[in-house]
Amino acid sequence: MTVALAPELTVVDEAVATAAHLGLTSTPKTLPPWLFYDEKGSQLFEEITALPEYYLTRTERALFAAHADEIFLELIASLTVIELGAGTATKTGILLNALTRFQQGVLYQPIDISPSALFEAHTLEADIPGLTVLPQTANYITDPIHIHREPGHKVIALYIGSSIGNFSPAEARAILLKLRAQLQPGDALLLGTDLAPSPSKSVEALLAAYDDAAGVTASFNRNILARLNRELDANFDLSRFAHRARWNSNESRIEMHLESTCSQTVQIPANSACPALTLHFAPGETIHTENSYKFTSASIASLLADAHFTPARRFTDPANLFAVTLAEAT
């Protein structure tokens, strides 16, 4: 007698499997950008931040170095600091260092989904005398945010690094509204945003930041498929997907895509979360992997107003590449 065996299902991270299934069965095909950030992708992103073409990180860092004192003097209050999506918090050290010169003892609460990034953020405590780090492992989009407010302190929430740019306008508004619900009038938000092209910022420079000569961003983009091969046993041939960065002027965003260079079929076997999937790609068909929105002073102001914040100070570099906005919760 032969016994029919059910096909063996691999046990996978269900969020990864479900997101891949949903995105790759959509028309046009998409993958959500949070899938970039496995261990390899996080390493590649760190490399991106040091690339000559990727001006965002170093420009924001320079703005912090130049204006940290003004930011804290503007607020004239004892402050408790929280940070959404803190990551390893390397740039934040500049701000925290400055704040410890204005007040005795600073409580810093980094919130991030990655425990290993928060471990790194915790090491700031050893470098900055007077700093106490209280990390919170949470997804600030889906999980509740808990703020520990010291008595008599205002809260300053940091949302920097242009992280807000990776969300649609509706999602960005929802994130800020959720944050605002945890704040009191008079609390503050420091928001880092990348800026739209202007007479001093060309579309070419913007595109180069997302398509660098060394090909690190291309590897970062393709790593999303490598991750699906590793974790879901998919059989994407990475050499058959070209990295594409496009400027979408109607939406004011850089889009990253992976373009199929030929007609091809890719399999994702059945797993504990999803049935098997056979994907067909036409030559030139793309998987849309990321949006990175670019702002103007008007679009920053209207995003803040929608979430009940009023801009108080705006800091930009001479070429208007990047903006750091200090806003007050109203």
Per-residue contact flags (x/-) with ligand AVI for residues 243 to 282, judged by CB under 6 A: ----------------------------------------
Query: Does 295 contact ligand AVI by CB under 6 A?
Result: no
Q: Specify the residue for token string 């930009």.
A: 316
130: left (phi over 0), alpha (psi -120 to 50) or beta: left
Closest to 191 (Cα-Cα) out of 224, 164, 222: 164
Closest distance to ligand AVI from the beta carbon of 309 (Å): 20
Distance of CA 93 to the CA centre of its chain: 18
Among 112, 187, 290, 328, binds ligand AVI (CB under 6 A): 290
Q: How many CB atoms lie within 10 A of CB 122?
A: 16
Among 23, 41, 93, 165, binds ligand AVI (CB under 6 A): 165
Q: What share of the chain is helix, strand, coil (3-state, %, to 5)?
A: 40, 25, 35
Query: Does 83 contact ligand AVI by CB under 6 A?
Result: no
Closest distance to ligand AVI from the beta carbon of 312 (Å): 23
Query: Does 210 contact ligand AVI by CB under 6 A?
Result: yes
Query: Does 166 contact ligand AVI by CB under 6 A?
Result: yes
Among 217, 252, 260, 325, binds ligand AVI (CB under 6 A): 217
Closest distance to ligand AVI from the beta carbon of 165 (Å): 5
Residue 156 CA to residue 75 CA, distance in Å, equals 9
Query: Does 292 contact ligand AVI by CB under 6 A?
Result: yes
Closest distance to ligand AVI from the beta carbon of 274 (Å): 26
**Contact status, residue 112 vs residue 86, Cβ threshold 8 Å:** yes
**Contact status, residue 35 vs residue 227, Cβ threshold 8 Å:** yes
Query: Does 48 contact ligand AVI by CB under 6 A?
Result: yes
C-beta of 97 vs 292, nearer to ligand AVI: 292
| Cβ contacts of 133 within 8 Å, gap of 6 or more | 108, 109, 110, 121, 122, 124, 125
Query: Does 162 contact ligand AVI by CB under 6 A?
Result: yes
Closest distance to ligand AVI from the beta carbon of 315 (Å): 18
Q: Is 53 exposed, middle or buried (0-12, 13-18, 19+ CB in 10 A)?
A: middle
Per-residue contact flags (x/-) with ligand AVI for residues 132 to 161, judged by CB under 6 A: -----------------------------x
Handedness of CA 221, 223, 226, 227 (dihedral sign): negative
Residue ranges binding ligand AVI (CB under 6 A) = 48, 56, 161-163, 165-166, 210, 217, 290, 292
